[in-house]
Structure 1
Amino acid sequence: MSGDRLLLIVEDDASFGRVLSRSFERRGYTVLHAANFDEMQDFLKQHNPTHAVVDMKLDGKASGLTCVQALHEHDPEMLIVVLTGFASINTAVEAIKLGACQYLAKPSNTDDIEAAFNHVAGTEEPELTNRPTSLKNLEWERIHEVLVETDFNISETARRLGMHRRTLARKLEKQRVK
């Protein structure tokens, strides 16, 4: 596979990866989809992508940041966009330092990602989004952040958040964590 727009998507959510792949194919990209770091490495042995979309949190031994670093080492000119459901300033800074050109919080669509590819240079007046963060989203992000810190130990997470374990379990039932 060759072409001037070869996109590598590194995403462990198969359904989201398929949707993203189809959407970019309709826009004229040739798309490869890797579910993890090892699959990504296999693709890099045979292909030279010009663009990449990397999910920050991947199942397996390597994170999205590890993928970004490997992609940048493979081709420093590659345009790499990082997607994450758990955006933080620390991971954004690290992603950019390791070679990503942009960092987007989910939910992001194909238009957002393509705009990120086309907007590599910084600007003094960045466009502010009109998507206010709801209290529910902030709560959910904090719960997930503590779950990750405690290696998904519900009792310890509830203790750190100062809530009853059953209350946390009910919240987690409403919004499943993968």
Structure 2
Amino acid sequence: MSDTAIEGLGEDRSLLLVDDDEPFLRRLAKAMEKRGFDVETAQSVAGGSAIAKARPPAFAVVDLRLEDGNGLDVVEILRETRPDSKVVVLTGYGAIATAVAAVKIGATDYLSKPADATDITNALLSSAEALPEPPENPMSADRVRWEHIQRVYEQCDRNVSETARRLNMHRRTLQRILAKRSPR
């Protein structure tokens, strides 16, 4: 853990992570704890809202799409209960309209998945005036596309036809993409 990460946290190191992807949530919680945050997790809008009302954190990372609703509902509650909290919205479905909605509601930053703990920490600790530094070695556009396809494929229980329908692509094209190795 770097000294700059500790310095940027200040006294209150409380962090709320809200995401319905349990393995991702566990990995991110562990990584953020190593960076000096006091982490609480929730896997739903209801769980995140309850924590935001009972113990409003100084920092929050909220997934946009959750199984029981929209993560922006949690952001709104955080803005009401703790206006000074820094909130980063994560999503696997990046779109300008949702980014604008997240910032209007009060999110500090908006990141597309897959985002790693370093990107998230930089976004949480950046000052309002300055943008966080760009990643040292960002993923290529091909890799981001691959990751998105893989995520949707897993969410569709590895059903190629359903994945192709949801991605609005031809099934055989998707099969060819899935047969190849991931780009680097």
Q: Do they fold alike, i.e. is TM over 0.5?
A: yes
Q: CA deviation at 1:17?
A: 1.2
Aligned residue pair count: 163
2:110 partner letter: Y
**Cα separation, 2, equivalents of 1:44 and 1:37:** 10
Q: CA deviation at 1:31?
A: 0.9
Q: What is the match of residue 114 of structure 1?
A: 121
The alignment partner of 1:100 has SS state of coil
Change (3 A) 1:43 1:56: same
List structure 1 runs of 4+ shifted beyond 6 angstroms. Answer: none
Change (3 A) 1:126 1:173: same
Structure 1, unmatched stretches of 5+, are 145-152
Q: Tell me the C-alpha RMSD between the 2 structures.
A: 3.5
1:33 partner letter: T
Q: Is the 8 A contact 2:123 2:132 kept in 1?
A: no
1:52-131 matched pairs, under 5 angstroms: 52-60=60-68, 62-123=69-130, 127-129=133-135, 131=138
Say which of 44, 50, 54 aligns to 1:42: 50
Change (3 A) 1:126 1:115: closer
**Cα separation, 2, equivalents of 1:55 and 1:108:** 11
Q: Is the 8 A contact 1:71 1:78 kept in 2?
A: yes
Change (3 A) 1:29 1:140: closer
1:78 partner letter: S
Over the matched positions of the two proteins, sequence identity in percent amounts to: 37
Q: TM-score, normalised by structure 1?
A: 0.72
Q: CA deviation at 1:154?
A: 3.5
Change (3 A) 1:159 1:37: closer
Q: What is the match of residue 148 of structure 1?
A: none
Q: TM-score, normalised by structure 2?
A: 0.70
Structure 2, unmatched stretches of 5+, are 1-10, 153-160
Q: Is the 8 A contact 2:60 2:87 kept in 1?
A: yes
Say which of 18, 24, 32 aligns to 2:26: 18
CA deviation vs aligned residue, 1:90-148 (integer Å, no higher than 9, x gap): 2111111111001112222222111111214244x87555536434644775896xxxx
